[in-house]
Chains A and B, each alone.
Chain A
Amino acid sequence: MTVCWSASMAPRPERTPEHAGGTSASPATPVPAPSSRQPLAWWGAVNVARDGVVRVTAGPTQVWVERRRHDWRVFSDATPDPEAANGDEAELLPVAERPRTVDPDDLPEADPRVRFCFADAPERLLVSVAQADRPFVVRPATPVSVGPGERVTLFVSTPTWIVLSVERVVRARAGTRRQADENPQPQKLTEFPLERPSDTWFGPNTLMGELCYATRTAGYLRLDDVPRHPHLALTPVTIENKAQDPLQFERVQVPVPQLAVYGDVTGALWTNAVRLTRETSGDLASVQVESGVPLGARGASERLVTPRAESAKGAVVRAFSRLLHFAGSSS
């Protein structure tokens, strides 16, 4: 694991003051001594000099962000090898080399590769976390059965999104008061998944349902067994079966957009815990998003991002599913 200094978004530290100012000199200064405080963290804020390059490494994905005079350029190199998806490196640092960023023809087939143009490119790059924009359908490696009256907690890891924003650095002159309108708001450049999950459908048939992302899990019941990766957020999903019959399911839906994302003291990402309560037989369950930092997060955790969507309190939704079988699908 590459351990690098990193810092969370709030409070936002000035990580490389020597890069501030937008000068063209020393566009990629070596990084200060790394900190082992948050070895899994890859988010944060950094001032980037003109023609400077910042590399973000989060699990299987590396993203290069380059600041030019009039634009910000974003390059990504998502490793297509599924074995490499287990990468556990995490860092955010300016780099001296510009790996495959200068010559566009030299780039790997990566997506996105975009430019964001400005009259004068802002100096400060904000790298932050976001949760997925659709629910996740989690399929355990083997079908799961929860007996009547039982309650279990599955630990589910889902990919997170990286959000790139920029903002201008405003310095108040000595003896003057900074005006409110001088405080610029960050401008969001782009966001994309650090590991593109597969699409899937969650519903009783191909007409009714919801488009989701799919992920597979070994169905970990003990937190210590869960492998941690910097690009995955861990969600404790508590399933309580209050019905009289056993709950057997092959897939469970986790409402990820309704969850906030937290970073613990190691930089590991967490979301709110989710409680699915099955009152009667069937696939329906009431969904409750538990507020606050989930139990199990180490040390003082901070909320990195608020939920994308409002959670409907006490909503009863289809949360479990057996696999779809289509009688006419072979025609």
Chain B
Amino acid sequence: MNGVEAIPDPLVGVARWFLDPAHLGALFRAVLYLALGVALARGARYALRRTTLTLSAQQRQLLSRFVYYGILALFGISAMRQFGFDFTVLLGAAGLVTVAIGFASQTSAANLIAGLFLVAEKAVNIGEIVTVDGVTGEVLSVDVLSTKLRTFDNLLVRIPNETMVKARITTLNRFPLRRVDVNVGVAYDSDLPLVEKTLQEVARANPLCLDEPGPLVIWTGFGDSSINYLYAVWAKSENWLALRNSITREVKAAFDDAGIVIPFPQRTLQPGTTPLEVRLHQAPPEPVDYADGAPRDGAEPPAGGDAGGDERSAGAAPS
């Protein structure tokens, strides 16, 4: 058996086909079409990204991808035709194929259409901070089938576009201003006008806190242990987190300076009938085994004969 006979017949056929001088030209043209297609697609994508600045980021991304892959597909088909592929057969079967694919890819089609709606509606934009189904993160991309978020702990979350369309989306930084809400409770014996004045002064002293809209101090109720207020201050959206951290620290410091107590829940235990009597007594000495002449576990023998525990350190036992 020689080497040529060892090659399977189909591969030999393909090799002979390519080695045919008439087919070498087709191969050259196909490669040329593919190279031209890639160059044109890249050029068109680059030009689109530069010229469609009026569109949003995801609209630009979607359009450039559509153009890029469309050009690649057209030139790919042309390259395949050089090898004699007849796509009219595929077109003839397109009806059946479409039905089959439609049944097989209902989910993908739904995501695709949902993605188009997301982009058209501008429900989310790349770079925005959104909360979807309890997941908060920065929008990385709105792709054909899914939207990708990067959470603050650097996880990638892929959310199908169909879910995005159905879910309630909260965009945290769409508007230039954002409010920081702080729930504050003060003791019942607090000077309430002083509390409100102190909170206003804290807001006024913090440069991140907007002077207008001004801070709000709203009574929200009599709590179990405190009189509760909602303290709401406004900030530039970028400064929201910094203000949230600084304002709570400053409120605590200002309350401490003004002698305003922030109470915490306290429980008073009372026995059901008679007061509980507590008596202190001496603890019994620890048993020590001197059978082998030395105390076990390194324990020292008691000094003197009085093995007494300190009465103050003795445990309490009910009478």
Chain B residues 82 to 109 lying within 8 A of chain A, measured CB to CB, are none
Contact across chains for B213 and A198 when beta carbons are under 8 A apart? no
Chain A residues 189 to 230 lying within 8 A of chain B, measured CB to CB, are 196-202, 206-207, 209, 211, 214
Q: Mark B174-213, 1 if CB is under 8 A from A, else 0.
A: 0111010000000000000000000000001111111111
B218 at the interface (CB under 8 A from A): yes
B302 at the interface (CB under 8 A from A): no
Indicate whether A199 sits within 8 Å of B218 (C-beta atoms), given known contacts A206-B177, A324-B213, A329-B213: no
Contact across chains for B211 and A139 when beta carbons are under 8 A apart? yes
Contact across chains for B212 and A202 when beta carbons are under 8 A apart? yes
Interface residues of A, CB < 8 Å — how many? 21
Contact across chains for A201 and B177 when beta carbons are under 8 A apart? yes
B44 at the interface (CB under 8 A from A): no
B236 at the interface (CB under 8 A from A): yes
Indicate whether A200 sits within 8 Å of B216 (C-beta atoms), given known contacts A82-B205, A211-B176: no
Which of B208, B210, B212, B216 has most chain A Cβ within 10 Å?
Answer: B212
B232 at the interface (CB under 8 A from A): yes
Kindly provide the distance from the CB of A210 to the nearest chain B CB, expressed in whole angstroms. 9
Residues of B within 8 A of A202 (CB): 212
A251's nearest neighbour on chain B, judged by CB, is B212
Tell me the number of A-to-B contacts counted with CB atoms below 8 Å: 58
Rounded to whole angstroms, the CA-CA distance of A8 and B140 in the bound complex is: 50
Contact across chains for B214 and A323 when beta carbons are under 8 A apart? yes
Residues of A within 8 A of B282 (CB): none
A330 at the interface (CB under 8 A from B): yes
A205's nearest neighbour on chain B, judged by CB, is B213
Residues of B within 8 A of A201 (CB): 176-177, 210, 212-213, 234
Indicate whether A198 sits within 8 Å of B236 (C-beta atoms), given known contacts A206-B177, A330-B216: no
Indicate whether A199 sits within 8 Å of B236 (C-beta atoms), given known contacts A82-B205, A206-B177, A211-B176: yes
Contact across chains for B207 and A199 when beta carbons are under 8 A apart? yes
A137 at the interface (CB under 8 A from B): yes
Contact across chains for A211 and B209 when beta carbons are under 8 A apart? no
B243's nearest neighbour on chain A, judged by CB, is A199
Contact across chains for B239 and A199 when beta carbons are under 8 A apart? yes
Rounded to whole angstroms, the CA-CA distance of A200 and B203 in the bound complex is: 12
Residues of B within 8 A of A82 (CB): 205
B235 at the interface (CB under 8 A from A): yes
Indicate whether A198 sits within 8 Å of B211 (C-beta atoms), given known contacts A206-B175, A206-B177, A207-B175: yes
Kindly provide the distance from the CB of B196 to the nearest chain A CB, expressed in whole angstroms. 14
Contact across chains for B209 and A199 when beta carbons are under 8 A apart? yes
User: Which of A200, A323, A326 is close to B210, meaning CB atoms less than 8 Å apart?
Assistant: A200
Contact across chains for A211 and B236 when beta carbons are under 8 A apart? yes
User: Which of B210, B216, B230 is close to A199, meaning CB atoms less than 8 Å apart?
Assistant: B210
Residues of A within 8 A of B205 (CB): 82
Contact across chains for A199 and B213 when beta carbons are under 8 A apart? no
Residues of B within 8 A of A199 (CB): 207-211, 235-236, 239
A197's nearest neighbour on chain B, judged by CB, is B207
Contact across chains for B232 and A329 when beta carbons are under 8 A apart? yes
B208's nearest neighbour on chain A, judged by CB, is A199
Q: Mark B131-169, 1 if CB is under 8 A from A, else 0.
A: 000000000000000000000000000000000000000
Residues of A within 8 A of B218 (CB): 330
Kindly provide the distance from the CB of A140 to the nearest chain B CB, expressed in whole angstroms. 13
Contact across chains for B239 and A198 when beta carbons are under 8 A apart? no
B206's nearest neighbour on chain A, judged by CB, is A198
Chain A residues 44 to 59 lying within 8 A of chain B, measured CB to CB, are none
Rounded to whole angstroms, the CA-CA distance of A6 and B296 in the bound complex is: 84
Contact across chains for A196 and B216 when beta carbons are under 8 A apart? no
Q: Mark A168-206, 1 if CB is under 8 A from B, else 0.
A: 000000000000000000000000000011111110001
Rounded to whole angstroms, the CA-CA distance of A201 and B211 in the bound complex is: 7
Rounded to whole angstroms, the CA-CA distance of A213 and B209 in the bound complex is: 11
Residues of B within 8 A of A324 (CB): 212-214
Rounded to whole angstroms, the CA-CA distance of A329 and B236 in the bound complex is: 16
Residues of A within 8 A of B235 (CB): 199
Rounded to whole angstroms, the CA-CA distance of A149 and B232 in the bound complex is: 41
User: Which of A200, A207, A209, A330 is close to B211, meaning CB atoms less than 8 Å apart?
Assistant: A200
Rounded to whole angstroms, the CA-CA distance of A139 and B175 in the bound complex is: 25
Residues of B within 8 A of A329 (CB): 179, 213, 216, 232
Rounded to whole angstroms, the CA-CA distance of A202 and B210 in the bound complex is: 10
Rounded to whole angstroms, the CA-CA distance of A323 and B215 in the bound complex is: 12
Kindly provide the distance from the CB of A47 to the nearest chain B CB, expressed in whole angstroms. 35
User: Which of B206, B212, B230, B239 is close to A200, meaning CB atoms less than 8 Å apart?
Assistant: B212
Residues of B within 8 A of A209 (CB): 176
Kindly provide the distance from the CB of B134 to the nearest chain A CB, expressed in whole angstroms. 22
Residues of B within 8 A of A214 (CB): 210-212
Rounded to whole angstroms, the CA-CA distance of A330 and B232 in the bound complex is: 8
15 extra interchain contacts, Cβ-Cβ under 8 A, other than A200-B211, A329-B232? A139-B211, A197-B207, A198-B207, A199-B239, A200-B212, A201-B176, A201-B213, A202-B212, A206-B175, A206-B176, A211-B176, A211-B236, A323-B212, A324-B212, A326-B213
Q: List the interface of chain B (C-beta within 8 A of A).
A: 175-177, 179, 204-214, 216, 218, 230, 232, 234-236, 239
20 contacts between A and B (CB under 8 A): A137-B211, A137-B212, A198-B204, A198-B206, A198-B207, A198-B210, A199-B207, A199-B208, A199-B209, A199-B239, A200-B212, A201-B177, A206-B176, A206-B234, A214-B211, A251-B212, A324-B213, A329-B216, A329-B232, A330-B232
Q: List the interface of chain A (C-beta within 8 A of B).
A: 82, 137, 139, 196-202, 206-207, 209, 211, 214, 251, 323-324, 326, 329-330
Q: 8 closest A-B pairs (Cβ-Cβ)? A: A214-B211, A200-B211, A196-B207, A198-B207, A200-B212, A206-B177, A198-B211, A324-B213
